[in-house]
A and B are shown apart, each in its own frame.
Chain A
């Protein structure tokens, strides 16, 4: 790790004044789980690190029927996975947070950091390799070792997004509030993430001098069920090979609305409208859930080593839907 300047301001305004025009100038520290790993491994060497943890506003965690759930960027994954209202009303989110890493890591990890974490691609994470995402000329995964890489939305870089919390949050139709010296803006969380074909140096729309402040999740209407299914090689402390968040609203035995968002298969949390369309207006059966899974991968374009993710995605989608609908 290179030496750096460190600041711990106590307001969003002063945080913003300390950020720079490029990510190299300054990085934001919250739990430090991802940032410190990147710095220690020599992937990035920011000149300044700005610690958010002095900003009291960003610890906010509240719920009302009218405004739904508000999560400050500094709310930890442990808080999310153990919060009674989140467990009761937003099960997929509690499950997504719970599925992350280990208890110690979840104690440190913040929701803001989870959404902004950088890819786990082994070429990106290797300090000896200057890949496309780091400003190099080539995506080494494309012709190289790509079993953990994207089957949807890839190109010219084939990372997958590592967040287990973003898919359930998007499935619950969350929005995110960002702050920069130019002011605040809010956008749907789905639009917060961008593909490598649109932007290479980050996976979100965040500008270098901009931070996530709040995530707002509407209160789920009556009849809503949800689940997050994560398939991984180890039973804990592992990123998703494939994950699926499903939120379904049932009415009279029929699915009125469904949102299906995948993890581990695309450079961003991947909303599958194709899968959602299969469900809407139908009773949820194993057959329908399977069809939705098939629809989710209809446009998949696997690389040489990751075609196995296609049937795995079908299984994850099917299982998430059935659990969300309360059938397993």
Chain B
């Protein structure tokens, strides 16, 4: 590739000014005439039979308009959640029916003139519960005698012949023959790891507004990663034809996988349908922690057979995913085998229902959990073999484009083989990876009379993807970034777009935009060729102009081309691009961290955080670095402090950001980020999706650094001061009591 005019720069995000000036419009900012407010009645129990719901007192609260329970709902209504990223589908009641199955589950929905009235009434709805035993830990849920989350669930037989209860799905894969591989190994390691459920803790809680017009047409505004997904979920769940739903994506304050719909949008629509008035639902932080789509937890037993020289011969895993009352985690289980040449691999994975909220995606869904186990164990093995953990990787890493080079960049930046550590300090390294999703997408690019371009897309910008698309169009048309305006359409006005998840947008919408810009460029060249009496391949496109290569005086500016088009029979210049999906390539992410442990308190501090990410092609350097650093931080935070905690009755006891901890600026060291560029075969200008990979490795790297600092390896995350202090005091690996 030659040099780029726009790509690789640090132009500001398209949404930067609106966000920093407070002008960006979020869902909670919307107020419609006659709008009512929704509040939920939620289960205080993790598991209980509902004997009776009495709304009579609640209905007396002044301002209450309606109270909806599962009993008043049409049988055709169901919560149908399809997440394209996971290919997961869940069908449940919209509200709890005969049972509640997790603490905070929606039992009834109140609509009132004010939020205060809605909340007051919600508190007055009398629900008669018969509490039932609950289970929140998948290791307990699989045992005989555990409470059954789903009444009709039947036990399944595990590979060792034991019966597993509360299984909702399973997956078994193998390549080669692991038994043979273990038999040929000099050493076989087997460890059990446990990762608690964590929440995405986006800054903006879930929110939606809905309205229904006189003809029954539904409009829904929401904080979502994909308004097209919201539209299809509303259609499927409430039986409304797709063409009668308009879904509008508002500015989004983060999603990380939890905002594919179904949490609040359907309920706002329900209220609007029931009352014929616009309705708004905005979650509190507590509601979001209790009842959104947090990541699944994982129990995983990994067995690895190696030769004394560090060659990995076989790896197998037995995994129990804690999916709550949802599903869709299985597919990530194999992440621990992907990067290495391993002749024999096998995994047996199960999704286990527990009395916790339904799982959703969380950035590289499932990978941080699996790689915590897989990569931490490799570091334990390296320590046991007396081998450097980087050497162990070099020996086994696949020779795919960028894998070795990206690893070596970190080795070089850190000075890995000369690394120093003081007392109670340690280093950890871990590899992560992802291959971006590739999804159908359309895009239209038009040329205005002043020679600037407008881009019509339906992408939902969470991470700067609008900026990326604008840069791709600018580069293709050879105009400055400032000459491109992005028009984000809704489902009525925009071409189809995939939801922003799975690192798909820059790749997929980027490809559609690139094709649309190419199409426009061809039309411009054709028109210019006629005007300049030249052949198309005699022309060059540069600096907002098309000129004859050997006679630059003969040229037309983009503005002249656009104006000429308006006067010509062909009319305005509009390029269109459609992309149906082509495979991308794996990008590797390499994470090295240095920590210092306080041996008296068990507290770990991050001293250095060095990461390298293969982005395929840098579209916007600042955004690429931001992705790498944000992901590394989320993962490190997962390693040190994040955990949804449930008490023995299954109640979540930390549904607030005081007790559910996320890091502050003081907890984060300076981030050192390296970008490598090993182009994807089919990415626009070689770009790979980069949203997911940065979260995949720090969990393992931090845990391993703690192992390096203390000699005690983490088998459970997060490694809180409490757990590490206990490990140091009892001389046991780090895990819960």
Residues from 223 to 261 in A contacting B, C-beta threshold 8 Å: 231, 233-239, 241-242
Closest B-chain residue to A3, C-beta based?
B116
Question: Which residues in B have their C-beta under 8 angstroms from that of A1?
Answer: 116, 119
CA distance A128 to B120 in the complex (A): 15
Question: Which residues in B have their C-beta under 8 angstroms from that of A42?
Answer: 123
Most A-side CB within 10 Å, residue of B598, B601, B602, B656: B601
The answer to whether A236 touches B666, judged by C-beta atoms less than 8 angstroms apart, is yes
The answer to whether B737 touches A305, judged by C-beta atoms less than 8 angstroms apart, is yes
CA distance A239 to B737 in the complex (A): 22
Which of A76-84, A192-200, A278-286, A308-316 touches B? A308-316
Check A241/B721 contact, CB under 8 A, given A231-B601, A233-B603, A308-B729. Answer: yes
Residues from 518 to 562 in B contacting A, C-beta threshold 8 Å: none
Of the candidates B598, B603, B651, B658, the one whose C-beta lies within 8 Å of that of A120 is B658
Which of A88-96, A140-148, A173-181 touches B? A140-148
Question: Which residues in A have their C-beta under 8 angstroms from that of B655?
Answer: 126
CA distance A63 to B236 in the complex (A): 70
Check A312/B653 contact, CB under 8 A, given A122-B659, A233-B641, A234-B661. Answer: no
Judge if B667 is at the interface, Cβ distance under 8 Å: yes
Closest B-chain residue to A125, C-beta based?
B656
CA distance A126 to B649 in the complex (A): 14
The answer to whether A308 touches B600, judged by C-beta atoms less than 8 angstroms apart, is no
B523 CB, nearest partner CB in chain A, Å:
54
Judge if A62 is at the interface, Cβ distance under 8 Å: no
Judge if A41 is at the interface, Cβ distance under 8 Å: yes
CA distance A314 to B722 in the complex (A): 15
Closest B-chain residue to A143, C-beta based?
B648
CA distance A242 to B601 in the complex (A): 10
B282 CB, nearest partner CB in chain A, Å:
14
The answer to whether A123 touches B666, judged by C-beta atoms less than 8 angstroms apart, is no
Residues from 140 to 166 in A contacting B, C-beta threshold 8 Å: 140, 143-145, 147
CA distance A122 to B659 in the complex (A): 8
Check A145/B653 contact, CB under 8 A, given A128-B44, A140-B647. Answer: yes
Residues from 34 to 55 in B contacting A, C-beta threshold 8 Å: 44
Mark each residue of chain A from 288 to 319: 1 if its CB lies under 8 Å from any CB of chain B, else 0: 00000000000000001111100110111000
Question: Which residues in B have their C-beta under 8 angstroms from that of A147?
Answer: 722
Question: Which residues in B have their C-beta under 8 angstroms from that of A231?
Answer: 601, 603, 721
CA distance A102 to B666 in the complex (A): 11
A130 CB, nearest partner CB in chain B, Å:
10
The answer to whether A237 touches B722, judged by C-beta atoms less than 8 angstroms apart, is no
The answer to whether A308 touches B602, judged by C-beta atoms less than 8 angstroms apart, is yes
The answer to whether B601 touches A234, judged by C-beta atoms less than 8 angstroms apart, is no
Mark each residue of chain B from 655 to 674: 1 if its CB lies under 8 Å from any CB of chain A, else 0: 11011010111110000000
B51 CB, nearest partner CB in chain A, Å:
18
Instruction: Give the dominant DSSP class at B's interface.
Output: loop
Judge if B286 is at the interface, Cβ distance under 8 Å: yes
Check A145/B641 contact, CB under 8 A, given A234-B664, A308-B602. Answer: no
The answer to whether A312 touches B645, judged by C-beta atoms less than 8 angstroms apart, is no
The answer to whether A237 touches B664, judged by C-beta atoms less than 8 angstroms apart, is yes
Mark each residue of chain A from 120 to 135: 1 if its CB lies under 8 Å from any CB of chain B, else 0: 1011011011000000
Judge if A2 is at the interface, Cβ distance under 8 Å: yes
CA distance A314 to B658 in the complex (A): 25
Judge if B726 is at the interface, Cβ distance under 8 Å: yes
The answer to whether B661 touches A233, judged by C-beta atoms less than 8 angstroms apart, is yes
The answer to whether A126 touches B725, judged by C-beta atoms less than 8 angstroms apart, is no
The answer to whether B641 touches A312, judged by C-beta atoms less than 8 angstroms apart, is no
Check A2/B600 contact, CB under 8 A, given A41-B286, A305-B722. Answer: no
A190 CB, nearest partner CB in chain B, Å:
27
Check A126/B651 contact, CB under 8 A, given A3-B116, A312-B725. Answer: yes
Of the candidates A122, A236, A307, A311, the one whose C-beta lies within 8 Å of that of B653 is A122
Judge if B311 is at the interface, Cβ distance under 8 Å: no
Question: Which residues in B have their C-beta under 8 angstroms from that of A304?
Answer: 737
Residues from 53 to 92 in A contacting B, C-beta threshold 8 Å: none
Check A235/B667 contact, CB under 8 A, given A308-B722, A308-B725. Answer: yes
Question: Which residues in B have their C-beta under 8 angstroms from that of A315?
Answer: 598, 600-601
The tally of CB-CB contacts under 8 A between chains A and B is: 88
Question: Which residues in A have their C-beta under 8 angstroms from that of B725?
Answer: 308, 311-312
CA distance A314 to B603 in the complex (A): 14
The answer to whether A238 touches B661, judged by C-beta atoms less than 8 angstroms apart, is yes
CA distance A231 to B604 in the complex (A): 12
Closest B-chain residue to A316, C-beta based?
B601
Closest B-chain residue to A2, C-beta based?
B120
The answer to whether A235 touches B600, judged by C-beta atoms less than 8 angstroms apart, is no
Judge if B563 is at the interface, Cβ distance under 8 Å: no
Question: Which residues in B have their C-beta under 8 angstroms from that of A238?
Answer: 658, 661
The answer to whether A144 touches B656, judged by C-beta atoms less than 8 angstroms apart, is no
Question: Which residues in B have their C-beta under 8 angstroms from that of A316?
Answer: 601
A13 CB, nearest partner CB in chain B, Å:
33
Residues from 617 to 646 in B contacting A, C-beta threshold 8 Å: 641, 645
Question: Which residues in B have their C-beta under 8 angstroms from that of A123?
Answer: 653
The answer to whether B641 touches A234, judged by C-beta atoms less than 8 angstroms apart, is yes
Residues from 26 to 64 in A contacting B, C-beta threshold 8 Å: 41-42
B131 CB, nearest partner CB in chain A, Å:
12
A236 CB, nearest partner CB in chain B, Å:
5
CA distance A311 to B726 in the complex (A): 10
Question: Which residues in A have their C-beta under 8 angstroms from that of B44?
Answer: 128-129
Of the candidates A140, A234, A312, A314, the one whose C-beta lies within 8 Å of that of B663 is A234
Question: Which residues in B have their C-beta under 8 angstroms from that of A129?
Answer: 44, 651
The answer to whether B658 touches A311, judged by C-beta atoms less than 8 angstroms apart, is no
The answer to whether B661 touches A308, judged by C-beta atoms less than 8 angstroms apart, is no
Judge if B70 is at the interface, Cβ distance under 8 Å: no
CA distance A14 to B641 in the complex (A): 47
Question: Which residues in B have their C-beta under 8 angstroms from that of A236?
Answer: 664-667
Question: Which residues in A have their C-beta under 8 angstroms from that of B645?
Answer: 145
Question: Which residues in A have their C-beta under 8 angstroms from that of B185?
Answer: none
The answer to whether B664 touches A235, judged by C-beta atoms less than 8 angstroms apart, is yes
CA distance A236 to B658 in the complex (A): 11
Most B-side CB within 10 Å, residue of A120, A306, A315: A315
Mark each residue of chain B from 708 to 737: 1 if its CB lies under 8 Å from any CB of chain A, else 0: 000000000000111001100100000001
A112 CB, nearest partner CB in chain B, Å:
21
The answer to whether B729 touches A122, judged by C-beta atoms less than 8 angstroms apart, is no
B664 CB, nearest partner CB in chain A, Å:
5
Closest A-chain residue to B720, C-beta based?
A233
Question: Which residues in A have their C-beta under 8 angstroms from that of B664?
Answer: 102, 234-237
Closest B-chain residue to A235, C-beta based?
B666
Judge if B654 is at the interface, Cβ distance under 8 Å: yes
Question: Which residues in B have their C-beta under 8 angstroms from that of A234?
Answer: 641, 661, 663-664, 666-667
Closest A-chain residue to B723, C-beta based?
A308
B233 CB, nearest partner CB in chain A, Å:
29
The answer to whether A144 touches B647, judged by C-beta atoms less than 8 angstroms apart, is yes
B621 CB, nearest partner CB in chain A, Å:
29
Question: Which residues in B have their C-beta under 8 angstroms from that of A306?
Answer: 722
Name 10 extra pairs, CB < 8 A, besides A129-B651, A145-B645, A304-B737: A1-B119, A41-B286, A41-B656, A126-B653, A128-B103, A231-B603, A234-B666, A235-B666, A235-B667, A236-B664
| B interface, CB within 8 angstroms of A | 44, 103, 116, 119-120, 123, 286, 598, 600-603, 605, 641, 645, 647-648, 651, 653-656, 658-659, 661, 663-667, 720-722, 725-726, 729, 737
16 contacts between A and B (CB under 8 A): A102-B664, A120-B658, A122-B654, A126-B655, A231-B601, A233-B641, A234-B663, A235-B664, A235-B666, A241-B721, A242-B601, A304-B737, A308-B722, A311-B729, A314-B600, A315-B600
| A interface, CB within 8 angstroms of B | 1-3, 41-42, 102, 120, 122-123, 125-126, 128-129, 140, 143-145, 147, 231, 233-239, 241-242, 304-308, 311-312, 314-316
Q: Nearest 10 pairs between A and B by C-beta?
A: A235-B666, A315-B600, A128-B44, A308-B725, A122-B653, A308-B722, A236-B666, A236-B664, A312-B601, A235-B667
